[in-house]
Structure 1
Amino acid sequence: MSSLWAEAIAVLPPKLEDIHLEFNKIVNESLVFLLKQTAALLYEGQDIAKCLQLSQTIIDFSWERLNIGTWRDVDKEWRRVFSYGCLFKAVCLCKKESAVREAIKTCDKGLLMGMAILDNILIRLVKVLQNHNNPKKRALEDVGFHQNSSQKRLQVAVPCIKEIQAGMEVPRIHCPSLEHFRAQYLIPHKPVILQGIVDHWPAVRDSKWSVEYIHEIAGCRTVPVELGSRYTDDEWSQTLMTVGEFIDKYILHQEEGNPIGYLAQHQLFEQVVGQKYIRLYSPEQSPKLYPHPTKLLHNTSQVDVDQPDLVNFPEFESAEFQECILSPGDVLFIPVSYWHYVRSLDVSFSVSFWWS
């Protein structure tokens, strides 16, 4: 018995009876029977090929249900079914060490599209799988990636850093107390750059984050990706791909600026790697930013900041704003309903937190 198979089986509940495959009436009885049959085959550990086939059938059937209509209307029971299908398939794949990456991708799809089952068993299983992710093969792939990325990086056109206009800078403060931040910025809704508050983060302190580092530690993990320079463009879309695929295809290309938009929440925007230019408009400037008239895009401006159409949007030219350039370790507080425009000045990584 391979060590991977033994560790994967150990993640499962001790007994078949501990997997409670009970669903409401929206999931038909024939599918529930199929789920139970697949689980039984898995615990017997004999006909894994048949178990794998049934698991894929469960995944395919529930995937169709997940993609009918809008996401908010998808019944949670179908997400549970999808997670169980992904769990059964991922464990079956553990019979062959060569299928580790496919098993990881299967777990990630269950985590992204399904629901938490059996005390977050998919998270525990994927940790086991990552430990078996063929270090020797990965090392060879990483060598090739480093060479390719170095060549690609020479082709990346880094835009000139914008000069911040006098009197328009977002103010900066170093390690304020919570009371001071709350009284001077949070309550009055005033943007500010907080410095020194994330210096203890390993990502900032050790300066380890890079394209190569992210590719090495998470290249095999599947994530949701938004494709397109602006989400108002016709070609904008969303898809699932591995971090490695995203880096290879997109991250080393020059990023364009996003459209101006706002959120109905406060935001802390932490810059970890590289630099970003950010422009902020207060809610009072909203009429001059020409929000889309539709309810879906009411929080998005119709104006292209880089090439504004002043014939159709003449008031935009007089809209007042604040601006800044964020460097690693800078944390920008963006108050609720503040319009913001973001442009990467080089290959960069940021982390955001939102709250109401």
Structure 2
Amino acid sequence: MALLWSRISSILPPNEEQFPLQFSDKVESSVVEMLKRSRRQLYCDTTSTSRMLNAQIVVDISWERLNTGTWRDVDKEWRRVYAYGCLFKVAALCRENPSEDEVLQAVRTCDMGLLMGAAIMDNILQVLVRILQSELRKTAKDEDESEHVEIKRAKIVSPHVPSIKEDLAIPRMKCPSLESFNTNHLIPLKPVILEGIVDHWPALNKHPWSIDYLRSVAGCRTVPVEVGSRYTDVDWSQTLLTVNQFIDRYILNKDQTSQDGGKPLGYLAQHQLFDQVPELKEDIRIPDYCCLCEGDEDDITVNAWFGPAGTVSPLHQDPQQNFLAQVVGSKYIRLYSPEDTDKLYPHQSQLLHNTSQVEVENPDVERFPEFAKAPYLECVLQPGDVLFIPVKHWHYVRSLEVSFSVSFWWS
């Protein structure tokens, strides 16, 4: 770790005068002065304790602002302050021959800045975390042999695959032309499974995604995790874990019993993962059919969905078109037309108005008598399959095994 600071300092501005620190009057002058003090300490000799103390003060003050009121009311200036605080904290942690634990803490600090802060200095936190990860990889020890055994067992478990009736099966097409897809499915809003359109993804061939691979590129990264088998459950919650902790706790069940033992499931579902971990983003490609959208590529939202068998997305609808690409494992999916919304019993609350009250595979026929009359299509999505879910179409998803999917939302 001795050379780590030289690598970090090489990406910082060469002197204090060229280090940008400009804020509107929404940020109190006392906070700006604290930021300037931390900046000054980057370029002068002082104790690591003093550097850490000042950086932590900035982090704590801005964190309080980020968590006061609703997120949409948080001013971006305070998110920038938080990101600068994280930057100064990382510098304090890594200045003097840091230990591996201190570098791991620096990685977590970068991730918190990326998750909660705003981009600063050409997204310097992203550059920093790449340097820190490469340093950790140099010193990483070989994995324990028993862990390899557990991973192999997790891979070879055969799921119970539901039988799909032919008359209910979502149709499949192999690499249709843009014109054919637009005419036969996009314009009339008809679901279809597209085959062969992601075979070129590195995630499926060059270095196939697996537990081992995810550990190697993102194991030490801190990410938001949903805890609970479905977001409509009373005990559903969110927490922050490293990818390694998530895999150990929810994929391999190292520190809890199986889902049958009453323990909650965990699910990594977020759109920031690919921004946090560019190595994963480089393994996928936006489907060509998204060029039919009204906006440009920046308007396409890319989401990661990684979790164990048994994880359920309750029957719900989204306001955009959706391509759901399956990379690892398989999922059972059922689709309902928006024309049958009245038979699907959406929640009455504004928060869950886009979600059905019905448990799709175990419906309460007395409470929801019309549900059985709603026609549907279904499928089992396998690696390499891409399901087109038209805008407003209701969809229910259940993971049949450890699963990693990528969705593309577009208009």
Do they superpose with TM above 0.5? Answer: yes
Which residue of 1 is the match for residue 284 of structure 2? none
CA shift digits 1:119-159 (9 cap, x unpaired): 111111111111101434x33346564344456778x7x65
CA distance in 2, matches of 1:142, 1:64: 41
What is the aligned counterpart of 1:139 among 138, 141, 150?
141
3-state DSSP of counterpart to 1:77? helix
Alpha-carbon distance between aligned partners in 2 of 1:18 and 1:183, rounded to the nearest angstrom: 55
Deviation at 1:256, TM superposition (A): 3.1
User: Contact 1:41–1:47 at 8 Å: present in 2 too?
Assistant: no
Q: 1:341–1:80: structure 2 CA closer, same or farther, 3 Å change rule?
A: same
Q: Is the counterpart of residue 104 in structure 1 residue 159 in structure 2?
A: no
Q: Is 1:19 paired with 2:22?
A: no
TM-score by length of 2: 0.82
Q: Which residue of the other structure, out of 90, 100, 116, is the alignment partner of 2:119?
A: 116
Q: Distance in 2 between matches of 1:193 and 1:113?
A: 36
The Cα shift of 1:280 comes to: 0.5
Cα offset for 1:12? 0.9
CA distance in 2, matches of 1:188, 1:17: 59
CA distance in 2, matches of 1:143, 1:11: 38
Contact 1:41 1:48 (C-alpha < 8 Å) held by counterparts:
no
How far 1:167 sits from its partner (Å)? 0.7
C-alpha deviation, 1:165, in angstroms: 1.4
Question: Residues 110 and 125 of structure 2 are in contact (CA less than 8 Å); yes or no, is this contact kept in structure 1?
Answer: yes
Task: Judge conservation of contact 2:309–2:403 (CA < 8 Å) in 1.
Answer: no
Between the aligned residues of both structures, percent identity stands at 54
- CA distance in 2 between counterparts of 1:258 and 1:191 reads 18
Which one-letter code corresponds to 2:114 in the other structure?
A: L
Cα 1:89–1:147 shift into 2, 3 Å: farther
| Superposition map of 1:17-166 within 5 A | 17-95=17-95, 96-98=98-100, 99-136=102-139, 138-141=140-143, 143=145, 145-150=147-152, 159-166=159-166
* Counterpart-to-counterpart distance in 1, 2:63 and 2:48: 22
| Cα shift at 1:210 | 1.0
Q: Which has the higher helix share?
A: 1
Distance 1:232 1:108 in 2: 28
SS of residue paired to 1:278: strand
1:351 maps to 2:351? no
- If the length of structure 1 is used for normalisation, what is the TM-score? 0.94
Query: Partner of 1:115: helix, strand, or coil?
Result: coil
Gaps of 5+ in 2: 253-307
Q: Does 1:292 align with 2:347?
A: yes
How far residue 306 of structure 1 moved from its aligned partner, in angstroms, is 2.5
1:231-242 pair list within 5 angstroms:
231-242=231-242
Partner of 2:392: 337
Q: Distance in 1 between matches of 2:173 and 2:150?
A: 40
Counterpart of 1:322, as a letter, is L
Between the aligned partners of 2:197 and 2:45, the Cα distance in structure 1 is 52
Runs (5+) with no aligned partner, structure 1:
none
Q: Which amino acid aligns with 2:200?
A: H
| CA contact 1:230–1:258 (8 Å) conserved in 2 | yes
Q: Deviations over 1:301-350 (max 9, x none)?
A: 00111221111111111111000111111000100000000111111111
Residue from 264, 271, 284 that aligns with 2:326: 271
Question: In 2, distance between residues paired with 1:73 and 1:142?
Answer: 47
**Number of aligned residue pairs:** 353
Q: Is the 8 A contact 1:184 1:190 kept in 2?
A: yes
Match of 1:219 in 2: 219
- When residues 66 and 142 of structure 1 are mapped into structure 2, their CA distance, relative to the original with a 3 A threshold, is farther
3-state SS of paired residue (2:398): strand
Q: Which residue of 2 aligns with 1:230?
A: 230
Amino acid at match of 1:255: G
- The one-letter code matched in structure 1 to 2:62 is S
Change (3 A) 1:120 1:20: same
Q: Displacement, 1:259? A: 0.8
Secondary structure of the residue that 1:354 maps to in structure 2? strand
- What amino acid maps onto 2:310 in structure 1? E
How far is 1:217 from its partner?
1.8
Q: Report the CA distance between 1:276 and its aligned residue.
A: 0.8
* Equivalent of 1:313 in 362, 368, 371: 368
Counterpart of 1:140, as a letter, is: D
